[in-house]
Amino acid sequence: MEHYNMNLTLKVWRQKNTDAQGHFETYPVSGISSEMSFLEMFDVLNERLINEGKEPIAFDHDCREGICGACSMHINGRAHGPWAGTTTCQLHMRAFKDGDTVTVEPWRAGSFPVVKDLTVDRGAFDRIIAAGGYVSVNTGNAQDANNILVAKDKADAAFAAAACIGCGACVAACKNSSAMLFVSAKVSQLALLPQGHPEKKTRALNMIAQMDSEGFGSCTNTGACEAECPKEISLTNIARLNREYIVAGFSYEK
């Protein structure tokens, strides 16, 4: 692939803290390699700002391998940018053209308050997981691998749901800031396996109750969450979550 350099104009959301009034600031960047990742480009910009005695732009990152979910940026109106099935850290600058203006914002959701600049507090996801996204098991020696049989289709579906990295792109993409895709993936990965069955009813009820208490909106059924999910989590998980919730509700009514 041909390597080239480009000059860009960045419009970046700056916000001192949660209570401060935010605003966009414009930064020209030059000599950006087409093979840089989007976060490497931000590293270059921040190094320049520090050398100029200015405040660097705060943004989340960790593994930079597309598996931690930390690199949450809204780029030109799309969660994680223009490439499908890609996290921000795996987005490369060849996705843009020389002379482009690129607008970068934090996730826009009341349940994800801005901490600073492009960094948001996604602690609501942690509290949803704590409400029921686990299984209780006896400790001790590991059981034989074939002790609990799992059908391949169930195992594959559970594995696909477990691919969710909790980045919050589904919330950022939804016009109602719904967390249904995230919650459904976490419920599905356990509900599909025998190990998750003892707590499946309380899990669905408690996690949805926590999701509602955090202020996430209802599902819009537009599919924007699946379209922007970097791990391409399927909407079928939301259908499964609805079934789990309805069955659990009927069981508790009895």
Domain boundary among 65, 89, 115: 115
Q: Are residues 129 and 106 in the same domain?
A: no
Q: Are residues 132 and 164 in the same domain?
A: yes
Q: Are residues 128 and 71 in the same domain?
A: no
C-beta atoms surrounding 24 within 10 Å: 12
Domain that holds residue 178: 122-253
Q: Are residues 17 and 80 in the same domain?
A: yes
Q: What angle do CA 162, 206, 248 make, to 5 degrees?
A: 90
- Answer whether 70's CB lies under 8 Å from 47's CB: no
- pLDDT at residue 136 in the model: 84
Q: Are residues 103 and 133 in the same domain?
A: no
Q: What angle do CA 204, 79, 84 make, to 5 degrees?
A: 95
C-beta atoms surrounding 119 within 10 Å: 18
Q: What angle do CA 89, 97, 22 make, to 5 degrees?
A: 60
Q: Are residues 16 and 90 in the same domain?
A: yes
Q: Are residues 131 and 210 in the same domain?
A: yes
Q: Are residues 142 and 177 in the same domain?
A: yes
- pLDDT at residue 237 in the model: 97
Domain boundary among 115, 150, 166: 115
C-beta atoms surrounding 166 within 10 Å: 20
Q: Are residues 74 and 21 in the same domain?
A: yes
- pLDDT at residue 252 in the model: 56
Q: Are residues 185 and 102 in the same domain?
A: no
pLDDT along the chain (254 residues), means of 10: 90 97 97 96 98 97 94 96 97 97 97 97 97 84 76 94 97 97 97 90 95 96 96 96 92 55
Give the total number of structural domains in the chain: 2
CATH number at residue 207: 1.10.1060.10
Q: Are residues 244 and 142 in the same domain?
A: yes
Backbone angles phi, psi at 244, to 5 degrees: -60, -40
- pLDDT at residue 60 in the model: 96
| Integer Cα distance of 179 and 208 in angstroms | 9
Give the global pTM.
0.93
Q: Are residues 50 and 161 in the same domain?
A: no
What DSSP string runs through 6-32?
Answer: EEEEEEEEE-SSTTSPPEEEEEEEEEE
- pLDDT at residue 121 in the model: 97
What DSSP string runs through 33-47?
Answer: ETTSBHHHHHHHHHH
Closest-CA residue to 59 (of 73, 45, 74): 73
SS3 string, 63-124, reads CCCCCCCCCCCEECCEECCCCCCCCHHHCEHHHCCCCCEEEEECCCCCCCCEEECCEECCHH
CATH number at residue 106: 3.10.20.30
Domain boundary among 80, 115, 150: 115
